Amino acid sequence: MSALQAVRGTHDLIGEDQRRHAHVVATARRISELYGFAEWSTPIFEDTRVFSRTLGETSDVVSKEMYSFTDRGGDSLTLRPEGTASVCRALVTNGLTQSLPQKVFYNGPMFRYERPQKGRYRQFHQIGAELIGASEPVADAEVIAMGRDILEALGIAKDTVLELNTLGDPQSRAAWRDGLVAYFQGVKGQLSEDSLTRLERNPMRILDSKAPQDRALLDDAPMLDAFLTPEARTFWDGLRRALDLFKVPFRENPRIVRGLDYYSHTAFEFVTERLGSQGTVLAGGRYEGLVAEMGGPPTPAIGWAGGIERLSMLLEQAPAAPRSVAIVPTGDDVAPVALSVLQALRQAGVRAEADYRGSLKKRMERAGKTNACFAVVLGGEEVARGVVQLRDLDNRAQEEVAIDALPALLAARLGL
């Protein structure tokens, strides 16, 4: 019988991969706390309408990529393809629309049926942040600055560029939409089949198309800047001023778009050239209609999400494997004392492991292979005197230490 394999598009997090993953999450959590964000956890699966309403029935995610199923009760459920809709649903479900603003950080697995490639999986993981209930451009700048600070703390900000655009207000986008429809009607014979459908149902979705023939047509499509209202231009100017105050450098890119109607004003992406075609590592924007789609009141919000796999790949070095203290009893007669020492060290915050098999030589060899930094050797004669032999496995120095003094001594030497 052949061994079972992981499902295509999924991957195990073990060893260095897990340490990189955990480091990204822990760093993002720490920085988000500095900005006053609270961590939320939402279910991995939701009512399908949570995503079909917010992502749009004609979007590629809803029409081609969602993992949806009917449960035994007849309800249509979907493994979450992204985190923002779930956070907005949780806001309404938990009665928090009257307690705004809410600053939310999240992390966890997401699911999309896509062609697996470098940095893209069918089960992937994201960190994300949402600032819900703030309508000022400085709020957008602060959320972007937090993303930049996370990249800085990870040591990868130097490898990324912030690209920024405005999507205008609803009036700006309505005028722009009319201009896009007129343009795409004139070249409809060159559009992909999917974009012909979008032209009838939601023409702005053409801007998100991945089809090469559609992408080639975008260069000559009308730009939003020509349709901005005075109010939208004021917001755009305020955002750029606030980013300057936060000392966040950016590059304007009018080709960053969002095809769904509820996006407005700010759209941004932190991009890198180190990951080939999967160059976007953290991206987001301002949105206005998601909370209302969940049954709440119209609520402004700004947020972003970052791919943990891609961020992990950019780390120059994996975090070091944790080091431990090896407890090495030399015989069964000292095993009870070894267990007592083991637990005393753990209660003092020292990572400790015990090995009971084989000769003393074999046990010391295994201690070295487990990345232990110290070995505590317990022999019958030493234990009778209330002491152990403490061996530094890095420099081979050895000393005799009283059992009662051992936890505090090791905690101090390990900087705990």
Calculate mean pLDDT across residues 219-240. Answer: 92
Helix (H) or strand (E) holding 413, with range, is: helix 406-413
Q: Is 328 helix (H, G, I), strand (E, B) or coil?
A: strand
Calculate mean pLDDT across residues 47-57. Answer: 82
**Measured distance CA(19)–CA(221) in Å, rounded:** 45
Looking at the DSSP bridge assignments, the partners of residue 109 are 125
Question: Is the pLDDT score of 58 beyond 60?
Answer: no
pLDDT band, residue 194 (cuts 50/70/90)? confident
pLDDT value of residue 388: 93
Q: Is 180 contained in some domain?
A: no
Give the torsion through C-alpha atoms of 329, 332, 334, 336, to 10 deg.
Answer: 110
Residues 6+ apart with CB under 8 A from 315: 20, 23, 24, 154, 155, 156
Residue pair 127/60 in contact (Cβ under 8 Å)? The answer is no
Q: Which of 282, 314, 346 is the last residue of a domain?
A: 314
Looking at the DSSP bridge assignments, the partners of residue 130 are 104, 303
Helix (H) or strand (E) holding 132, with range, is: strand 123-132
Report which residue type is found at 160. Answer: T
Report which residue type is found at 155. Answer: G
The model's pLDDT over 296-308, given as tens digits with 9 standing for 90+, comes to 999 999 999 999 9
**Measured distance CA(277)–CA(224) in Å, rounded:** 26
Domain count of the chain?
2
Answer yes or no: do 259 and 161 share one domain. Answer: yes
Can you state the angle between helices 230-245 and 137-153, rounded to 10 degrees?
Answer: 40
Q: Is 10 contained in some domain?
A: no
Answer yes or no: do 21 and 122 share one domain. Answer: yes
pTM: 0.88
Residue with more model confidence, 304 or 217: 304
The model's pLDDT over 6-37, given as tens digits with 9 standing for 90+, comes to 999 999 999 999 999 999 999 999 999 999 99
CATH number at residue 372: 3.40.50.800
pLDDT value of residue 78: 96
Answer yes or no: do 271 and 378 share one domain. Answer: no
pLDDT value of residue 132: 98
CATH number at residue 71: 3.30.930.10
Range of 188-197, 242-251, 259-268 with top mean pLDDT: 242-251
In the chain, % of residues over pLDDT 90:
65
pLDDT band, residue 2 (cuts 50/70/90)? confident
Calculate mean pLDDT across residues 220-243. Answer: 94
Q: How far is CA 290 from the centre of its chain?
A: 21
Bridge-based pairing of strands 161-166 and 263-271 is antiparallel
- Identify the weakest region by mean pLDDT among 49-63, 80-94, 182-196, 222-236: 49-63
Mean pLDDT score of the chain: 90
Q: How far apart are the first and last CA of the chain?
A: 49
DSSP character for 161?
Answer: E
Give the torsion through C-alpha atoms of 193, 196, 202, 204, to 10 deg.
Answer: 90
User: Which residue, among 303, 270, 268, 266, has the nearest Cα to 129 in the 3D structure?
Assistant: 303
Structure tokens at 386: 């209330």
Question: Is the pLDDT score of 292 beyond 80?
Answer: yes
Query: What's the Cα-to-Cα distance from 236 to each of 9, 51, 138, 161, 215, rounded to whole Å?
Result: 39, 29, 11, 19, 26
Q: Is 406 contained in some domain?
A: yes
Residues 6+ apart with CB under 8 A from 368: 393
Instruction: Give the full edge-to-edge strand order of the sheet including 45-47.
Output: 45-47, 76-79, 68-70
Answer yes or no: do 305 and 385 share one domain. Answer: no
The torsion angles phi and psi of 53, rounded to 5 degrees, stand at -70, -40
Q: How far is CA 333 from the centre of its chain?
A: 50
pLDDT band, residue 261 (cuts 50/70/90)? low
Q: Is 336 contained in some domain?
A: yes
- Quote the radius of gyration of the chain (alpha carbons, Å): 28
Q: Is the dihedral of CA 233, 235, 241, 246 positive or negative?
A: negative
Answer yes or no: do 343 and 388 share one domain. Answer: yes
pLDDT value of residue 349: 95
Calculate mean pLDDT across residues 204-230. Answer: 85
Question: Is the pLDDT score of 265 beyond 80?
Answer: yes
Calculate mean pLDDT across residues 33-42. Answer: 98
- Identify the weakest region by mean pLDDT among 30-39, 68-77, 257-266, 359-368: 359-368
Q: Is 177 contained in some domain?
A: no
User: Which residue, among 411, 402, 335, 319, has the nearest Cα to 374 in the 3D structure?
Assistant: 411
**Measured distance CA(404)–CA(416) in Å, rounded:** 18
Q: Is 184 helix (H, G, I), strand (E, B) or coil?
A: helix
Answer yes or no: do 25 and 61 share one domain. Answer: yes
Question: Is the pLDDT score of 268 beyond 70?
Answer: yes
Q: Which of 314, 336, 359 is the last residue of a domain?
A: 314
The model's pLDDT over 314-351, given as tens digits with 9 standing for 90+, comes to 999 989 888 999 998 888 888 899 999 999 999 999 99
Query: What's the Cα-to-Cα distance from 363 to each of 59, 70, 359, 367, 383, rounded to whole Å?
Result: 59, 53, 6, 6, 18
pLDDT value of residue 278: 67
Q: Which of 287, 314, 341 is the last residue of a domain?
A: 314
pLDDT value of residue 259: 62
Q: Is 209 contained in some domain?
A: no
Cα angle, residue 287 at apex, residues 135 and 41 outer, rounded to 5° = 100
Structure tokens at 165: 């655009």
Question: Is the pLDDT score of 76 beyond 70?
Answer: yes
Q: Is 114 contained in some domain?
A: yes
The model's pLDDT over 351-389, given as tens digits with 9 standing for 90+, comes to 998 876 767 777 777 777 778 899 999 999 999 999 999
Answer yes or no: do 154 and 99 share one domain. Answer: yes
Answer yes or no: do 304 and 161 share one domain. Answer: yes
The torsion angles phi and psi of 290, rounded to 5 degrees, stand at -65, -45
Calculate mean pLDDT across residues 264-282. Answer: 89
**Residue span of the structural domain in which 74 resides:** 16-169+229-314
Question: Is the pLDDT score of 219 beyond 90?
Answer: no
The model's pLDDT over 137-178, given as tens digits with 9 standing for 90+, comes to 999 999 999 999 999 999 999 999 999 999 999 899 889 888
